[in-house]
Amino acid sequence: MGARLTPGGQFGLHLTLGVLIMIVSVGIFGQITDEVTDQDAITVLDLQIAHWFNANHVEPYTSFMLFISFVHKVGGMIVLVGAFGYYLWRRQQRYWLLALGVTVLPGMILNVVLKQVFQRSRPFFEEPLVTLSTYSFPSGHTAAATLFYGVLACYIMIACKGWSVRLATAAFCMLMIFLVAFSRVYLGAHYLSDVLAAMASSAAWLTICITAISTLRRRSEARSLAANGIM
């Protein structure tokens, strides 16, 4: 048990926290899924919020929300992931480059699979701000933002020593995830439960990937130390 709670080592605190976060995230996703499929109270709240925003959208907020959603479409995410990946490659951060690769693309494939499983229709309005024909649950934009900014936040939190930079980056990444999620609800592209489910499912996948690669890195470092006679 002591080895599980120590910061270092192959199976240290990072693995324990990773498992706990994954369990909580999966539990939240499961709870939301149950309420949506059973048409429980959350679906009533979904409709109330969706119709309120559709009736009360105003400029310049609408244009700003359209911009946030546009930046985090497929094309925008390719640019963001590509730029971050190039930065990691130039700095020879091979484990973080691997983390970025196995987190974002497979995570988005998982999102598409979940959409096909649940096949929830988009919110319907007589005068919609955006018109989409794909399924709604869970939100793809929110999933992409959670995965990308999640990896970015994890990297900065570990790579940077200054707490001011760490906290500022964590706050920025959380703000961006929130803005993307909020923009999808504001624009009527998704229900509230869609974006919450996307955050939960993507957080679970992000945690699995980061924890697995962190364990892989620690095992590799331990083998290198053992080979050099340090351990």
User: Is 14 designated active site?
Assistant: no
Query: From the candidates 14, 51, 72, 141, which is the catalytic residue?
Result: 141
Q: Confirm if 218 and 208 have CB atoms less than 8 A apart.
A: no
Preceding omega of 7 cis (within 30 degrees of 0): no
Q: Confirm if 103 and 211 have CB atoms less than 8 A apart.
A: no
CA distance 192 to 138: 10
Of all residues in the chain, the percent with pLDDT exceeding 90 is: 73
Q: Confirm if 152 and 169 have CB atoms less than 8 A apart.
A: yes
User: Is 72 designated active site?
Assistant: no
Amino acid at 70: F
Q: Which pLDDT score is estimated for 174?
A: 97
Tokens of 75: 């094309």
pTM, full prediction: 0.88
Tokens of 68: 């946030």
* Mean pLDDT along residues 34-42: 91
Summary mean pLDDT of the chain: 89
* Burial state string for 67-89 with b = 16 or more CB within 10 A and e = fewer than 16: ebbebbeeeebeebbeebbeebe
pLDDT at 8 over 90: no
Q: Which pLDDT score is estimated for 16?
A: 81
Q: How far is CA 13 from CA 4, 22, 153, 160, in A?
A: 5, 14, 18, 19
User: Using alpha carbons only, how large is the chain's radius of gyration in Å?
Assistant: 20
pLDDT at 117 over 60: yes
Q: Which pLDDT score is estimated for 39?
A: 87
pLDDT at 159 over 60: yes
CA distance 178 to 139: 13
Q: Which pLDDT score is estimated for 6?
A: 43
pLDDT at 104 over 90: yes
pLDDT at 151 over 70: yes
Tokens of 202: 């993507």
Q: Confirm if 186 and 53 have CB atoms less than 8 A apart.
A: yes
Q: Which pLDDT score is estimated for 17?
A: 86
pLDDT at 70 over 60: yes
Tell which residue, 37, 58, 186, has the closest CA to residue 123: 186
Tell which residue, 16, 28, 17, 14, has the closest CA to residue 202: 28
pLDDT at 160 over 90: no
* Mean pLDDT along residues 108-125: 95
Query: From the candidates 51, 57, 72, 190, which is the catalytic residue?
Result: 190
**Residue 214: pLDDT band by 50, 70, 90 thresholds?**
confident
Q: Which pLDDT score is estimated for 148?
A: 98
Burial class (CB in 10 A: 0-12, 13-18, 19+), 118: middle
Domain limits of the chain? 19-53+60-120+129-215
* Mean pLDDT along residues 146-170: 92
